[in-house]
Every structure is written in structure tokens, then in C-alpha cells.
Amino acid sequence: MRKPLLAALALALVVLAAGPPAWGAGQDFGTYLREALAATGLPGMSAVVTRGDRIVHATGLGHESTGRAVTADTPMRVASLSKSVTAATVMTLVDEGRVVLDQPVVSYLPEFRLADQRAATVTVRHLLNQTSGLSDRTLDIRATQRAADLTGYVAALRDGGLAAEPGTHWEYCNVNFDVAARLVEVVDGRPFADAVRERIFEPLGMTASSVGARPADGYNSIYGAWVSRGELPGFRDGGGGGVVTTAADMGRWLISQTGQGPRILTPESLATLHRPWPGGDYAMGWGVQEVDGRELLMHSGNLFTYTAVQAFDPASGSGFAVLLNSASLYEDNYDIMRGLAAIADGRQPETPGGGRQLTELALGLRKSPRRSPRICCAGRRSPRGR
């Protein structure tokens, strides 16, 4: 009896000495991403995983429509992930004392006039929380699409109204962030793209990122085949969806959002950026969602030919982003991101099985003169901030 007991004690000591599994133990990120690409049949993807102040894994797989291989440095549109960048740009002005969140937008942007008198009470915070009352249902979106720049965009809102009293109702509307982008131009004194570059991208070392760049055409899945196409007419490179970036640069962005690396915001402003509006789960360009038992700040984005998702865990300091050069209606990038998070937790990920989403919706938008393109993502598991 004594020898088996000693052996058992020795084994227990070995287990205790080994401690908990290392972060990301088990299947490696690269193997999982290769399996995910094969399972989904996606033409190309890039992804990044961060932990603390480090990029743990960044890679690209598949190909662009030009035939080039996708890498961690391949430029891709990230659609509504741009909203968090726009919000952070506004918050840099808050830190400088040049903008106050609870001041009316019109005090900084006198041209922000609607037919609805309540628009005068819309604050900067309302824009970033998407509680302004601005709505596609009450605005002339087609008129904004014809505008040559953000000045014309805001002017095109003048005959519209609000769908709700400012600050009382949450509704996803891209107009909020394009108005915020114009506010940045007026207060900062530079074009929006230049302000974002100098306030966000350059300090973080995001040298491959910009607003308004032209990456390679992405893809749609049409009756089971991937077809390369251009973006929808009327797409705007503004505050709601104009950022073009890479997986490697997204890693630098996610690190900054966890409070690590170069600082672009005060801790107070960073916390404000991530704090949901009272009674809701949408912060400022970020939505709060529980994923497999962990509470993440995340946001998705979907264009006609590109899809993306970003997420980070404030508790662990880990971050994830998946960029696709195809329109997958949110399912694939969400599932792949979830798999990366599982590996980071030392769990076995599920292999995505969606693949080749049929894009009849997107085709219908392109054919119909009465429908406007959406640069938000409407997925079944998407957080309220899409």
C-alpha cells in the first residue's frame, strides 16, 4: 500500500507544480485558421490575436481578387469597425478640452440642422451612443449618398427629422458617425482622414491604416461561386465605415483598447468609450456581448464585399480581430473569432461550417433604386452594436 500511495502523492505534486494550462495551450491559432479557411471555403481572410501589449498571432490566408496572397499586412475594409475609431478620435478632442460630450452637436457644428427642432438638443454623446434619434426611416439617405463630402452630407440632412427624443432610444444609424466625422473636421480644422491619421493611426504605429484608401475588390458568393465585385454605389468613406486597415494594425488598435501600448486617450476617456449607455449594451462604437461565458466588447462590420469583427476581453486583456475579403453576412467571421477566443482560453474550438453565404440580399440592394446600402452587420448573433 505504501508504494502506490507514494506514487500517487508524487503524481499529485507533479500536477500541482505544472499549474494551470498556459494561455492559448492546445490547438494553435495557425492550424485552426487554416482549418477554418478550408471548412468555410472563404477566398481570403486575415486575423490577429493579442494579449496585453503583445501581438500573439497575426496571419493571412487565401487570396485577393488580384491573385496576391492575403497576409497580415493586406489592406482590407473593416466597415463598421470604423465607428470605434471615429469615437476615439472624438475622445481625443474631449481630452484636449475642445469638445464636451454633453454639449449640443450644433454648438460645434452649426450646419447640423434638421426640420425637427429637437435636433438642437442632440449631444455629442448621443451621436456616439447612437441614441440621437437619427434614423434611416426619417432621413433622406439617398441625398446623403449624392453628397461630394462630409459638408454636403450634413447639409443633406436638413429636411429630415428624428425618430425619437434624443437620449431616450437606441437605434443603429450610420449617420451618427458621419456627423461625428464632420464635427471632427470642424473642431480639428483638418479633413477627417488627416485627423484620424494624426490622432489615432500614427501614435499607435498603424502605418498601413487610413480612411478612404482603395483595397482590392472583395467577393460575393453568388449561387455557390465567389465573384469579385466593386463596392455598392453610394458607399461613403466617412466616420461610419471608411477605415481600411490590416490584421497587424488591428492588433495595435486592440492593444490600445485594453489600455496597453502607446496611449492615445486618458484612462477616463477610454473607460467612457467602453461604457454602455444607461439601460443598453452599446457604448461608443463598441457593443457589450457575452460570448461563451466571457463578457467582450465587440463590434462587427459588413459591406457588400468585405466583412470584419473585432473583440477584446477587458478582464484578461486579450483581443481578437478577423477580416474577410468577402460578404459573409457576419456568420463566418464571428465563428472564427469565437474559435480564436476558445483557443486563447485553452479550450477546443468548433470548426466553422457556414461558408459561402448566398448574397441575394446584397444583390437586391444593388438592383433596387429604393434601398440604401448598409454598412452595419445584421447577424443573428451580432451584438446590438453592429
How many CA within 13 A on the CB side of residue 384? 15
Contacts (Cβ under 8 Å, ≥6 apart) of 382: 287, 300, 330, 334
What pTM was computed for the model?
0.86
How many CA within 13 A on the CB side of residue 309? 32
- Distance in angstroms (rounded) separating the CA atoms of residues 37 and 33: 6
Q: 61 pairs with which residues across the strands?
A: 45
Position 285, amino acid: G
Q: How far is CA 1 from CA 8, 9, 12, 13, 15, in A?
A: 11, 12, 17, 19, 21
Q: Are 314 and 297 in contact (CB under 8 A)?
A: yes
- Confidence (pLDDT) at 381: 37
- Confidence (pLDDT) at 275: 97
Position 217, amino acid: D
Positions of E strands within the chain: 44-51, 54-62, 76-77, 210-211, 218-222, 225-229, 243-245, 287-291, 294-302, 307-313, 318-324
Which structural domains are found in the chain, ordered by start? 25-367 (3.40.710.10)
Residue-wise pLDDT tens for the chain (386 aa)? 444 433 333 333 333 333 333 445 446 999 999 999 999 999 999 999 999 999 999 999 999 999 999 999 999 999 999 999 999 999 999 999 999 999 999 999 999 999 999 999 999 999 999 999 999 999 999 999 999 999 999 999 999 999 999 999 999 999 999 999 999 999 999 999 999 999 999 999 999 999 999 999 999 888 888 999 888 766 678 999 999 999 999 999 999 999 999 999 999 999 999 999 998 999 999 999 999 888 999 999 999 899 999 999 999 999 999 999 998 756 889 999 999 999 999 999 988 875 445 444 444 444 433 333 333 333 333 333 34
- Confidence (pLDDT) at 236: 73
- Confidence (pLDDT) at 151: 97
- Burial (CB count within 10 angstroms: exposed 0-12, middle 13-18, buried 19+), residue 45: buried
DSSP string, 158-224: TT---SS-TTS-----THHHHHHHHHHHHHHSS-HHHHHIIIIIHHHT-TT-EES-----EEEEETT
- Confidence (pLDDT) at 316: 94
Closest CA to 181 of 132, 236, 123, 240: 240
Q: Are 264 and 205 in contact (CB under 8 A)?
A: no
